[in-house]
Every structure is written in C-alpha cells, then in structure tokens.
Structure 1
Amino acid sequence: MARPRTPRISQKRLIRIALRVIDKDGLAAFSLKRLADELQVHESSVYHHYRYKHLILEDVVRLVLSDIDVTTMPTGYWKDYLLHASIRYYRAVVAHPNLVPVLQTSSHPPYTHAVENHTAAMLFQSGFPARYVVLIREQLESLILGAVQYSGNIELFTEVDVRHAALVRATRAVGEITPEERIFHALRAFLDGLELQLPLWQQSAPDPDPGVSTSSAGPSTQAAPGLGDSEQALSG
C-alpha cells in the first residue's frame, strides 16, 4: 500500500493512542486497523509512519521508558543505585502492565544501551566480575516484570482450603502489603544476597581485565556498605 504524501496524524500522537489501546484492551486487541479506527483515519495514514506492528510496539516501549534517567540516581553505593533504578523501572512498567509480554520476549533495544552501560560500569567499578554483570541484570528484570504481573488482579494463590493453615496465614498476611512494597522487599533481599556473594565471586572468578569498563560509571561506588538513603526509594 502506497504511503500518503502528507501524514494526517503525527507519529507522537499515533504512539500515544497505541499505548492507550494496549492499556485498555491488551496486546491481543492491538492491530494497525484498530489503531487507524481509534485515530479515525485510513490505515494508509498509519502506514505513512510504520509498516509493521512490531515497530509501533518498539516505540510504545520507548515512550514508556523515556522518563527513566539513571544518571540522576544515587552513585554512592551500588545497592542504592540498583534499588532506585529498579523501583523507577517498576513504576514505569506497572503503569502499563499489558506491555510486559513485549518486554519479556524481546532484547533491550539499542536506545537503552547507554543506560545499561552506565549500570554495567558501576558494577565493574564496585568489584563485580564481568561474567556476573549481565546475570544480575537478567535476574532484576525477572523480579521486576514478575512483580508487575502480580500487581494487578493476578494472585499466586486463590481459594486456599482452610486445611492448609500455613498457606492461608501466608496469603492473608501478604494482602497487607502493597504491590510496590512487595517488589521493594524482594529487591532488598536480592541485593543483600548479592552483597554477601560478592567477596566469594571475587575470589573464585577474578576479572581478567577489571579496568575495561569503569570510565562511564561516574563517582566511585566504594562507599561504606549499607543501603544509605534507599529506605526513601519508595517515596523518591
């Protein structure tokens, strides 16, 4: 189909309407035809900007993640940094939970690589061996996207038989914790575990080139252990 010479809609408006459709009705309901209907234009107007659906989804994700700026986050200690960065990522995605399948089934696009490089450089500078840096990011990603899935109407356990007294007690107790508090505690536990593991990793897998990626990490991250001001991450 030939593209119209003059677009009837802006690319920015198209992406915002696409996000609105996905938020309201989910990915299954999203199509180029549905988008054109919502915009009250012919499909050719959508094709002027995008030939394929997956390209629209890439820019929808870009819009959702555009406000995350890791360069403004704490740089005193790696645990503070990772906690704040993860909470910001969680907040960006939990506002649009229907995008989780897109994030789970695609690699991080190139426009996120500068942010990821900043994170990797900080971990290198903090003494993490290179072989574990991507592993840490993978597990943080799993924690955050999993938390988003369980932040809505999905419950891990429902209609628990009263004979399973321990599980009944646990499910009642978790209901007293907000979704953001749940991911906060999960992240704290994960990061505390990393702190204990770091000396063992340094002994068993020393980095053969420890200075290769520290140039963009910013100020030194070898501050005294502890989470510092990370208790404020939920309100920051």
Structure 2
Amino acid sequence: MARPRQPRLSRARIVEAATVLIDADGLDAFSTRRLALELGVRGPSLYNHFATKNEILDAVADEIIAQVDVSFFAEHDWRTALRRWAHSYRDALAAHPNIVPVLARGPGRRPAALAMADAVYGGLVDAGWPPARATHIGAVMRYVVAGSALGSFARGFEADPALYEEERYPHLSQAHLLADHQRSVDEGAFALGVDMLLAGLSQVYAEVVGPLPPAAGSSATGGSATTGQARP
C-alpha cells in the first residue's frame, strides 16, 4: 500500500485534540497516551512534533492566548485599552478554564504569551507609566483575569432553597437563584472589578505621571461615553 502523501499528524491537529480533551476532562486526566488514542496513532508519533507532554500543554495554552486581542493598546488610551484587553483575555480563558493553571505559570517561552506581554507593557510605558509600575499593572491584571476565569462565584451556591434557612442565613434567601444567573453575576462582578481597578490606577497615574489624557469617547468635561452624563 502506498504511503499517504500527507502525514497523519501535525502540530495543529495535536493541539486541537489536546484542547478538546483538556476542556472535557481537565489536566489531571490528560496524558499523551490518551491523546494518541484519541488521534488514532501510536504514542511515539506525538514525539515527532512535541518532545514532552509539557510542550503540548504549552502549545495548547499559547493557542488560547493567541485568541486574545491586544490591538487596543495601539488604538486607544491606556484605560480603554486595559479594559477591552481584560475582557478579551477573560473571554479566552473562561472558554477553557481547565488550562488556566498552565497559563498562571507565566509566559515562559510561549510566543503568543510573550507577544501579549510585550503589547501590554509597551502600551503602558508608551502612555507614560514608569516601567516598574507597568510591570505591576500587567501582573495584577493577570491575577484578576485568571482568578475570574478559574472559577464561578455564582456556581458556588447550591440551588436548594431549603439549604438557606432564614434563621441561620437571613440574608441569603435568594442565594439558590445565583446559579441560574451565573453568567450575568460572574461577568458583572468581573466588569465591576476592572472598573474599580482602573479608577484606582487613574488616581495613581495622576499622582505619578500627571494629568490623565481624555478617555476614548469622553468629552472634555468628563462626560461618560455610555451615558452622556458627567461623572462625579
């Protein structure tokens, strides 16, 4: 039988299959043996493309980070860029929460992760932030995003109303409904956290760097881009 003209495996196919397995069953259940079985090949075939299991995990993590939009830093003021980047970052991680522990280790040698770090750090420094502060901001944003994507506050409450006895938990009479509104609760909490963080950073910027530039979409009098009303 003639050999196939195209190899059965490619790095992209391995990464795609590994992502599906990790999304479904988590990191603890992931192995190269199971991945090979899923791909219909022998285990050693994987090592023609990746030397170790950790290299596969790094490739999966970097493929997810490659989905994060960092173009905002070249197009908007630093506050708008940070907010939009944070939401894009969380969306990518929230779609693949099982890989977050790998991402939490830092960029390592992963190209997309290093490119994201470069864009964020460069955008902040170009906006006037001192290099040390730009590093701190990038770190704290990663903590916030990774923590938000790793778990759900709303899903942590059981849907059994009998659990929340009024005598014991007088303020939790609606807690059993949280899981039904998981997306709005968790996304709303993240948006609030990012807004509060940016408010604090704006004060630090004014103290360390100087007057804040107008935010994208805001009037010179400080109007809100979304409501058209002056902020207090």
Instruction: Give the TM bin, normalised by the shorter chain.
Output: 0.7 to 0.9
What stretches of structure 2 of length at least 5 have no aligned partner?
Answer: 1-5, 219-223, 227-232
SS in 1 for 2:28: helix
TM-score by length of 1: 0.75
> 1:200 is matched by which residue type in structure 2?
E
> 2:125 is matched by which residue type in structure 1?
F
Deviation larger for 124-133 or 28-37 = 124-133
Contact 2:157 2:176 in 1 (8 A): no
Match of 1:104 in 2: 104
Contact 2:80 2:215 in 1 (8 A): no
TM-score by length of 2: 0.76
Cα-to-partner distance string for 1:31-80 (whole Å, 9 max, x where unaligned): 11010111111112112111210000111112112222322567332110
> Superposition RMSD on alpha carbons, in Å?
3.0
Match of 1:184 in 2: 191
SS in 1 for 2:49: coil
Higher relative contact order (CA 8 A, sep 6+): 1
SS in 1 for 2:18: helix
Contact 2:73 2:119 in 1 (8 A): no
Deviation, structure 1 residue 192:
0.9
Contact 2:23 2:96 in 1 (8 A): yes
CA distance in 2, matches of 1:156, 1:74: 41
Match of 2:146 in 1: 145
Deviation, structure 1 residue 117:
2.1
What stretches of structure 1 of length at least 5 have no aligned partner?
Answer: 1-5, 204-221, 232-236
Match of 2:214 in 1: 224
State the identity %: 25
Q: Does 1:165 align with 2:170?
A: yes
Match of 2:10 in 1: 10
How many matched pairs? 207
Match of 2:221 in 1: none
CA distance in 1, matches of 2:45, 2:177: 52
